[in-house]
Chains A and B, each alone.
Chain A
């Protein structure tokens, strides 16, 4: 198993090595030590390998990930797994702002809390946060799911499009055009399968969640909605 010590090697060395891997590489499990909050660790991976980061990562860790499984045994800085395409990114600690921003696919699991703007502009990713999330989460969220086991801050789902939001705890306030919607069996099934993918299906009862989504009142310009624009 390759071990990259970021006290000795640079982030450039690490990423170059990860980008050089072919899809059928035998080096499928990487360990990164001494990440020390460095930025852009393990960005742009395009192969099905596992990268474990032992410590705290800075901004944009695992950005634009494809196929890989990246595990952060610590906290993650701004924009963890931003624009993730596929694969899994798991943060064992807390995540800063804009976790999973613009993510197009794959799965992001945050075992601690996530700060503001979690899932901002998300475009198909599934995000699961075991703790709480901050304000403006799922802002302009286009597609995918954001599931929060804890509480949510202000303006959840402001200007949301077609993303689905599942929240088990309290919601401080909803943003423009975001409303609560009934949690039907199909939603419970969807939620269960997402929790299952994150490996926490047995931990909570899907019936305890509430579902939020777009009222679709802002989809077309209308003078009666002008106060919301």
Chain B
């Protein structure tokens, strides 16, 4: 019923449940009949590293001098079984992103930036390109279910091997690369016809379960004469068991990717609703390592939503040996740059929101195979930007570690942290700020 004109007007109210985005998705689905596919990670608000704080030094803890006193950042990865473990200068690596999803200059830029800072980069679902091998001092080679472009020569050229079981953005899902990006070069590397929508497998073709994985790892070690560290990458869903089973299968390193982790192309419904947040995944994984007496022996690399040095420090304090970055590295080399606002708008998006990475029209020249677009990306300049960004992440993590009195970033520990919310306290296993309360059972 319409109120009498004399009464105060009611403000139009948008539903919290049916917000504008939800409504637009219903309309889009109704119009097209197909789910939404996009790149990037979960966009919803999730318990994250922002919900943790460091306590810093106090009367009972001594800090270290901010600029002068040594605070180590080096990390050794893969010294459990490999003859040639990786020795990285910083505990921040570049995550696996395929050539195909990324342009060749983007891959080269990642290699240049990582190499300048003494850290590693990683291939992806599409094999190894010459550009990335030449530009990466330390390159990790992914063995994925699709096995696109896999061959023993590239395995031997790699510095480490990563068996990918899952990704945080889509635990249980395979890859996707839509036809626009299957150019001649990409198609040839993947032994596929040009221009098809490629769906890569979600299960490995020749092993199932932890006992098989152990034998697969043994084969990879035999192939490479026990030289290279072997990582196992899992999407965060059952991190306690996946970590324990990876250790049992003989991994040197476990890579744990939370649900905020980026992807090149996945169904939106998958990205936002499958898997658990990075924050919730770390402690169970560390607990598994500790119970097996393997913490710091089998290294843990954590990824999914790492954006700054505080995130790095927090992941390390919770027990990780290193972190890995995808999205932040892409932003550092120019993804979603506001300088390209007009072009993003022409694509129906905005700088900061652009995630149609699967369509191959990226004006920044990063998530594209279109030569006109990827020629815009100068791999040398972009590599420099990534190196700068990695340097800042490192300095920030050191700043926090020194404030907590640590002479190495690995000396950060859960006791240095408190949580701002009950959820974060329960997930990270640290007390709610101002209390000694850690909610929930099953704590270490």
Contacts and interface: CB of A to CB of B under 8 A. Distances in A.
Nearest to A222: B34
Interface string B195-212: 011010100011100001
A60 B206 contact: yes
B10 to A, nearest CB: 40
A222 to B, nearest CB: 9
B299 interface: no
Given A121-B201, A140-B201, A64 B152 contact: yes
B272 to A, nearest CB: 19
A59 interface: yes
B215 A83 contact: no
A46 B225 CA distance: 13
Contacts of A223: 32-34
Given A101-B205, A121-B201, A85 B193 contact: no
Contacts of A46: 152
A140 B205 CA distance: 10
Contact of B219 (A59, A66, A143, A221): A59
B222 A123 contact: no
Interface in B120-159: 146-147, 150-152, 155
Interface string B161-196: 000000000000000001100000000001111001
Nearest to A39: B215
The SS class assigned to the B binding surface is: loop
A44 B228 CA distance: 15
B223 A16 contact: no
B219 A39 contact: yes
A48 to B, nearest CB: 15
Interface in A177-229: 219-221, 223, 226
Interface in B210-245: 212, 215-216, 218-219, 222-226
24 contacts: A12-B222, A43-B219, A43-B222, A44-B223, A58-B215, A59-B212, A59-B215, A59-B216, A63-B223, A78-B206, A79-B206, A79-B207, A83-B151, A85-B152, A101-B205, A102-B206, A104-B191, A143-B191, A159-B199, A162-B192, A220-B179, A220-B196, A221-B34, A221-B197
B205 A43 contact: no
Interface residues of A, number: 43
A159 B178 CA distance: 16
Interface in A78-104: 78-79, 82-83, 85, 97-98, 101-102, 104
A204 B379 CA distance: 57
B425 to A, nearest CB: 41
B215 A40 contact: yes
Nearest to A142: B191
B443 to A, nearest CB: 40
Interface of A: 11-12, 15-16, 19, 39-40, 43-44, 46, 58-60, 63-64, 66, 78-79, 82-83, 85, 97-98, 101-102, 104, 117, 120-121, 123-124, 139-140, 142-143, 159, 161-162, 219-221, 223, 226
A19 B225 CA distance: 8
Given A59-B215, A60-B216, A78-B212, A83 B197 contact: no
Nearest to B179: A220
Contacts of B218: 39-40
Interface size class of B (residues with CB under 8 A): 20 to 34
B176 to A, nearest CB: 9
Given A63-B219, A97-B206, 11 more contacts: A44-B222, A44-B223, A46-B152, A60-B206, A60-B219, A102-B205, A123-B191, A161-B193, A161-B196, A219-B179, A220-B179
A144 B103 CA distance: 28
Contact of B151 (A64, A117, A142): A64
A214 to B, nearest CB: 9
Given A83-B147, A101-B205, A102-B147, A124 B191 contact: yes
Contacts of B224: 44
B286 to A, nearest CB: 31
A73 B140 CA distance: 37
A137 to B, nearest CB: 12
A144 to B, nearest CB: 9
- Which 4 pairs across A and B sit closest by C-beta, in order of nearness? A79-B206, A44-B223, A219-B196, A102-B147
B206 A40 contact: no
B227 to A, nearest CB: 11
A74 to B, nearest CB: 18
Contacts of B206: 60, 78-79, 82, 97-98, 101-102, 120
A101 B199 CA distance: 17
A162 B224 CA distance: 31
Contacts of A121: 146-147, 201, 205
Nearest to A16: B225
Nearest to A105: B151
A60 B215 contact: yes
